[in-house]
Amino acid sequence: MAACRITFLPFDKRVDVDAGVSLLEAADRAGIVINSICGGDGICGRCKMIVRKGTVRSEPTPLLTREEIRAGVVLACLSTVQTDLEVEIPEETLAAEKVEVDEEAQRFRAIRPGITHRQFSKTPLVSKLSLELDPPTLDNNLADFQRVQRAVETGMGIASTQMGLKVLRQLPLVLRRRDFAVTALVGRRKEIAEIMDVEPGDTADANYTAVVDVGTSTLVCHLVDTGRFSTVDAQACFNSQAVHGREVTARIIAAEKKGIGPLQNVLVADINNLISTLAVRNNVALKNITAVVCAGNTAMMHFLLGLPPDNIRRAPYVAVNVEPSPFRAAEVGIKINPRGLLYSVPGISGWVGGDLTAGILATGLWEREETALLIDVGTNGEIILGNKDWLLACSASTGPALEGASVACGMMAEKGAIEKVYVEDDEIRYKVIGNAAPRGLCGSGIIDLIAVLLDKGLIDRAGKFVPDSDPAVTFDGDAGRFVLVRGGRKDPGTGVFLTQDDIDNVITAKAAVFAAAKIMLDRLNLTFEDVSKVFLAGGFGNFIDRRNAVRIGLLPDMPIASIQYVGNTSIWGAKLAAFSHEAYDALREIRRRTTYYDLMGSPDYVEQFKQAMFLPHTNIELFPSVGRPKTVLA
């Protein structure tokens, strides 16, 4: 196929793609994040672009007005490239009111070309099956349950089904209410399926799953339409467990003192809030949310299920269960359909949880011929190294700085967050999510700002503020700070700034990640040159400046093209499972195939960590592309 050059305005980004590729994918390959909710299914109408030069072939859509069509507006997901193009991307197509959805949809598309694994079947963990059964006669007097069972087993290709007593007791009435037209709610539980409920009439249209990334600092919930395999909406919040401690270990200690109840309760309340917010906003009845799929670190999953996490924090760091069976969601207090199921994404060990298993699935790491790295930075940093033949996992204690927590002006990647900091005309400039007034810095902004401060010589390679380097750098005793946005006159504390503590926290975090990756490679006698691809996952924001991530030494100095920011792979992997029990089975296989490597067992770790406490690293030869920073060494 002919290669076409696409130029995206206003930023003048160029990318070469084959004819026939969708505009959405082209933008994606150009590294542009598009405000698509539906993930490219032509439903949400958010990926509008204006074709200025050249020809696209567009499928018809009711989501565009005549005026828009006349003005050259197309939906990027429904339009394929035919020639060289010049395409303008309107501000609102980039804007991100609902950050997480956009991010996820984007990542979904962004990763798809890069992964090798098969498409999974469309076989949700909990599905609804509309049945028009033959009413019984003397010649066909199968019992009620067996009648439903046979239809479900035939309809879904499932070998064996069962039904709880409560549902069974209602079954005769329910079957006869609409003359044996019913909808069966079928949940998969390992090798068998449970007919969780039977409703009169055809209700198969209304079937939703809440997919939750249970993070230490942040909870993210996506409401997905299970029958249509699409994302409806998303919502995020901070984990209210923070009152019991910022980090996992502190919370485990709190649970040992106070009992697990208080920690479980706030977590369940947070999840219920997220779900009910999404349900109300999208006019979805809770009873039609029939499943919750949760991926989280192992301790969080213990808190959620009420399992004692004590042994996770002490050598040999043993979890109670890294692959819990599905339970009734009501059993832990999650308010969805009373018969709804709670699926846990299986984790790997006490310190590498289901969020990483999900990431391995989502990135296809487990099916790649070539060795790749997955670096997931949350409140802890987990690093997976491997390919289709082997997978090695470790966990490094980073603290939540790179998520925007434990940073004075840090915040989630939501409206008002500075997500990008850059130098233009020698001035430090920034970009705010939602074009709002700046309220703080999200992860990507923090990384950018530190890189910029380093480049401009405002901090040294140890990350320390350089006195008198800039009027925006001020000192209170030894504690420097850089003011990026001035506060109001009356309330100067409302500005956006970065403190020495913030920088120290970020350096500690990035050093832990880098040292962990280095140790894993060393253990296998590999170098970064043996790594074909680095997937960076985490809640940094909509995108991350990969050069700056290398610049500060969070990522190894590899060709930028081989680094891919994949966002929240925890929720994406969990969503794949919600949509396909094959994907869920794959998660179980990944769990079994992944070996946990305990960093504390490595004699080199402390030394490697210390060496990584510089920007980008003590050993600058590891970062040839970065060169010597333009800093003024004292």
Binding site for a copy of itself (CB under 8 A): 136-138, 140-146, 159-160, 162-165, 168-169, 171-173, 189-192, 305-308, 310-311, 315-325, 327, 331-332, 349-350, 596, 598, 601
Minimum distance, C-beta of residue 310 to a copy of itself, in the bound complex (Å): 7
Cβ nearer to a copy of itself, comparing 188 with 244: 188
Q: Which is nearer to a copy of itself, 14 or 166 (CB)?
A: 166
Shortest reach from residue 112's CB to a copy of itself, in Å: 32
Inter-residue contact 344 to 587 (CB < 8 Å)? no
Q: What interhelical angle do 165-177 and 144-156 show, nearest 10?
A: 90
Task: List, in order, residues 6 or more apart from 345 with CB less than 8 Å away.
Answer: 293, 294, 295, 296, 354, 355, 357, 358, 570, 573, 574, 577, 587
Q: Are strands 289-296 and 208-214 parallel, antiparallel or unpaired?
A: parallel
Name which of 460, 345, 452, 444 is nearest 403 in CA terms. 444
Both tokens assigned to 338: 């009373």
- The least CB distance from residue 293 to a copy of itself, in Å, is 17
Phi, psi of 423 (to 5 degrees): -105, 130
Identity of the residue, 65 or 170, whose beta carbon is nearer to a copy of itself in the bound complex: 170
Closest to a copy of itself by CB, 94 or 320: 320
3-class DSSP assignment, residue 270: helix
Least Å distance, CB 106 to a copy of itself, is 34
Least separation in angstroms between CB 480 and a copy of itself: 41
Min dist CB 364 to a copy of itself, Å, is 25
Output 165 or 561, the one with its CB closest to a copy of itself: 165
- The DSSP code sequence of 396-423 is EE--SGGGTTTSTTB--SSTTEEEEEEE
For residues 322 and 348, the answer to whether their CB atoms sit within 8 Å is yes
Rounded to 5°, angle at Cα 451 from 447 and 455: 170
Q: Which is nearer to a copy of itself, 334 or 612 (CB)?
A: 334
CB of 379 to a copy of itself, least distance (A): 21
Pairing of strands 427-432, 440-441: unpaired
Cα–Cα distances (Å) from 434 to 13, 37, 438, 439, in that order, read 21, 16, 10, 11
Least distance from C-beta 256 to a copy of itself, angstroms? 12
Closest CB to a copy of itself among residues 264, 631? 264
Sign of the CA dihedral 423, 427, 428, 430? negative
Cβ distance to a copy of itself smaller for residue 325 or 625: 325
Residue (133 or 254) nearer to a copy of itself, CB: 133
Cβ nearer to a copy of itself, comparing 2 with 142: 142
The residue length of the chain stands at: 634
Query: C-beta of 192: minimal distance to a copy of itself in Å?
Result: 5
Nearest-approach distance from CB 309 to a copy of itself, in angstroms: 9
- Please identify, using beta-carbon distances, which residue of 20 and 601 lies nearer to a copy of itself: 601
Q: Which residue has the tokens 């799953």?
A: 209
Instruction: Identify the CA nearest to 355 among candidates 391, 386, 313, 383.
Output: 383
Which residues contact residue 603 at a Cβ distance below 8 angstroms, ignoring those fewer than 6 apart?
none
Give whichever of 531 and 599 is closer to a copy of itself, judged by the CB atom: 599
Tokens at residue 277, please? Answer: 């917010």
Smallest gap from Cβ 257 to a copy of itself, in A, equals: 17
Contacts of 631 (CB under 8 A, 6+ apart): 454, 457, 459, 460, 461, 466
Closest Cα to residue 52, out of 17, 84, 16, 91?
84
Pairing of strands 594-596, 48-53: unpaired
Smallest separation (angstroms) from a copy of itself to the CB of 270: 20
* 261-267 CB contacts, 8 Å cutoff, 24+ apart: 261/306, 263/303, 264/303, 264/304, 264/306, 264/332, 264/333, 265/333, 266/240, 266/241, 267/214, 267/239, 267/240, 267/241, 267/300, 267/303, 267/304
- Rounded Cα distance between 335 and 492, Å, is 43
State the residue for tokens 């099916």: 367
Q: Which of 180, 195, 223 is nearest to 128 (CA)?
A: 195
Select 280 or 600, whichever has its Cβ closest to a copy of itself: 600
Contact, 455 vs 469, CB < 8 A?
no
Residue 20 or 261 having the CB closest to a copy of itself: 261
Between the alpha carbon of residue 88 and those of residues 50, 106, 512, 616, the distances in Å are 5, 18, 41, 36
Minimum separation from the CB atom of position 255 to a copy of itself (A)? 12
Beta carbon nearer to a copy of itself, 74 or 158: 158
Question: Least Å distance between CB 322 and a copy of itself?
Answer: 4
Minimum CB distance to a copy of itself smaller for 159 or for 561: 159
In the complex, minimum distance from the CB of residue 509 to a copy of itself, in angstroms, rounded to a whole number: 25
For the CB of residue 298, give the shortest distance to a copy of itself in the complex, in Å: 8
- Of 595, 597, 456, 573, whose CA–CA distance to 520 is shortest? 597
**520 closest CA partner among 616, 392, 613:** 392
